Amino acid sequence: MNNAPTAGRYSLKRYLGGYVLALLLTAIPFGLAATAALPRHSVLIAVGAAALAQVLVHLRCFLHLGLRTTAPERLLAIAFAAVLILIMIGGSLWIMFNLHYRMWV
């Protein structure tokens, strides 16, 4: 029906590259949390950043998302999901840090 390319058309290189990146992005936060090499605050930020990068790696290397290669309505759906996730997570962080500030600082 639609002409979505099948997985066979993608190079093994991209899958393997994605795999290595995903492993790295998993190892880094675990390592940081286990060794406490950085101050607590920086660890939290690093874990968050690694998670975000992980999402992008998955979308790009495994789901083959590309700004030009993917149909616009799919991009729209992903953008919509991103907005909602941003609202939920961003809103939660805003609310909970605001509460933390008022209770403990």
Partner 1 sequence: MEMRILGRLTAADALPLYSWVAIGGAVVTILGFLAIIGTITWLGKWRYVWTEWLTSLDHKRIGILYVMLALVMLLRGFVDAIMMRAQQAFALNSGGYLPPEHFDQIFSSHGTIMVFFMAMPFLTGLINIIVPQQIGARDVAFPFMNSVSLWLTAAGAGLVLISLVVGRFSTAGWTGYPPYSGAGYNPGVGVDYWIWAIQVSGIGSTLSGINFIVTILKRRAPGMKLMRMPLFCWTTLASSILMVFAFPALTVTTALLALDRIFDMHFFTNTDGGNLMNYINLFWIWGHPEVYILILPAFGIYSGVVSTFAAKRLFGYKSLVYATMAIALLSFTVWLHHFFTMGASAGVNAFFGVATMVIAVPTGVKVFDWLMTLFRGRITFHPSMLWTLGFIVTFTIGGMTGVLLALPPADYLMHNSTFLVAHFHNMLIPGALFGYLAGYMYWFPKAFGFTLDERWGKRAFWCWISGFYLAFMPLYMLGFMGMARRMERYDVAAWQPPLVIAALGAAVILAGIACLVIQLIASIRTRERRRDLTGDPWDGRTLEWLTASPPAPYNFAVLPQVRDIDALHEMKRRGAVYERPERYEDILLPRNTGAGVLIGGFAFVFGFSAVWHIWWAAAAALLALLAAAAARSFCDRTEFRLSASEIQQIEERRLRQLAGEEAL
Decide whether 3 or 11 has the Cβ nearer to partner 1.
Answer: 3
| Amino acid letter for position 75 | L
Residue whose structure tokens are 């840090």: 97
Smallest gap from Cβ 13 to partner 1, in A, equals 30
Smallest gap from Cβ 102 to partner 1, in A, equals 6
Decide whether 51 or 96 has the Cβ nearer to partner 1.
Answer: 96
Measured CA angle at 69 (ends 68, 70), to 5 deg: 100
Point out which residues bind partner 1 (CB under 8 A): 81, 84, 87-88, 91-92, 94-96, 98-99, 101-102
Q: Do the beta carbons of residue 41 and residue 48 sit within 8 Å?
A: no
By C-alpha distance, which of 93, 28, 90 is closest to 57?
A: 28
Decide whether 26 or 98 has the Cβ nearer to partner 1.
Answer: 98
